[in-house]
Structure 1
């Protein structure tokens, strides 16, 4: 999946819209009831259903039953519209719950971000915005608060949040790609496995690649799939948080893993 928003919106115009510091040049030309928020909602629904390739000012105007030129009274172009859509999507995140240990907080943050990407897979097609809209700043502040007060420097706090978010984005991309493959092929992983397993058994020479054969059979038997998205995400997240734990312990002078933030149990749960 490659980025589709290669041309970002004009920074000054996007920021004015994100922070609502500038009213549209003339509302008189717009249809009564039309607003920036309504345009963003319609555009998001279109992108959710069909992806960014299908997004255009014309398609959004059709969804709102207005003329295309009416939209330009409110939003200058597609680049600025996507900037607005991304920040609006971040408003879905709960930035109020700051309870629990740092590990539990990062755990919730990671899952919330993954769920957001799965609800709005088009976000994975956008170039990471440089624009700090109100919802992005609220998200960033919430995520930093999860590791505040642990003895990390400000730069280490930022890098820790970036590490977790980068992991989430990468695995969400794999999950979304797997879902698209299932949709396009009309065959889910279990159906594919039932079809391919006997063929592979007949074709592959296990003696040539014994480790791959053993592990592949074990994974296939366990998950009945080539890629078990939920398992892989949970397993990798705990390993990422284990790495953060090492840093936290080093900064606090603690040798006992888990004293400050909880230990990951053998099943991947936080205890």
Structure 2
């Protein structure tokens, strides 16, 4: 798994916030811009996965030499941070309701769509996220919504973290189900069919009686993708119901 937050901190912050424009030699305009480099890198990662996104391939897709990229961005670590924050900016979060639950749900389902468009997001650890405009816009939107839910300030912060952790993780799982055949070369149905013998020869219904009973009651009558979607909906509702129960009357 790739990790965000790598590379030179000051240089990454400068690039994230576009605080300075790269200088071109002898007054000539640069062959490519930083925004075009980030967009090209994201397209490569979308199509072929994060491992395929190398500086050489990004340069080739833009029709320039690899060294041209290094006049804009120091390396892959910084480029990955720029890609991640650029993806978060695609959420386009704006408050269109006074209902804090609806605002959180808007973020949640747009994040699912985001991970579906950019399946490489699931391969990036955000324990140390890039401190860019995309991250701050996301967190500011959620904190603004949760601040109207009747929670104490410290609970607002914790709730924001809990929601982001659940939504980002569950969205990654949903995206993986969506792209499972592309990633593995095998459909979901074929994968399970190849393991049908397990249930016939290995599974012990007495030892795993809870699974057996739930199975008999139809608890598993859905595809893996449907199960992931149901888990996302239920988990999000449970979190929001729990926060609502903690809210104090205003």
TM-score, scaled relative to structure 2 = 0.87
Q: Is this contact kept in 2: 1:189–1:225, CA < 8 A?
A: yes
Structure 2 CA distance for aligned equivalents of residues 132 and 141 of structure 1: 13
1:125 matches 2:123: yes
CA contact (8 A) 2:4 2:80 kept: no
Pair 1:20 & 2:22 matched: no
Question: Helix, strand or coil for the counterpart of 1:252?
Answer: coil
Tell me if the contact between 2:12 and 2:78 (Cα under 8 Å) persists in the aligned partners: yes
Aligned to 1:89: 87
In structure 2, C-alpha distance between the alignment counterparts of 1:114 and 1:196, rounded to whole Å: 29
Give the total of aligned pairs. Answer: 248
Taking structure 1 as reference, are residues 117 and 80 closer, same or farther at Cα in structure 2, changes over 3 Å only?
same
Equivalent residues in 2 for 1:39-188, closer than 5 Å: 39-128=37-126, 129-179=128-178, 181-188=180-187
- Ranges in structure 1 where 5+ consecutive residues have no aligned partner: 254-271
Q: Which residue matches 2:3?
A: 5
CA contact (8 A) 2:116 2:175 kept: yes
Q: Which residue of 1 aligns with 2:219?
A: 219
Conserved in 1, the CA contact under 8 Å of 2:16 and 2:82? yes
TM superposition shift of 1:179: 4.4
1:48 deviation in Å?
1.2
| 1:190-218 Cα distance to aligned partner (Å, 9 max, x none) | 34445544762454342343321122352
CA contact (8 A) 2:17 2:132 kept: yes
Alignment partners' CA distance in 1, 2:26 and 2:172: 42
Give unpaired runs (5+ residues) of structure 2.
none
What SS does the aligned partner of 2:97 have?
coil
Report the CA distance shift for 1:27/1:99 in structure 2 as closer, same or farther (over 3 A): farther
Whether the aligned pair in 2 keeps the contact of 1:39 and 1:60 (CA below 8 Å) is yes
Bigger Cα displacement from structure 2, 175-184 vs 149-158: 175-184
Paired with 1:77 and 1:30, the residues of 2 have a C-alpha distance of: 23
Q: Deviations over 1:158-205 (max 9, x none)?
A: 211111110012212323444454335443333444554476245434
- C-alpha RMSD of matched pairs (Å): 2.6
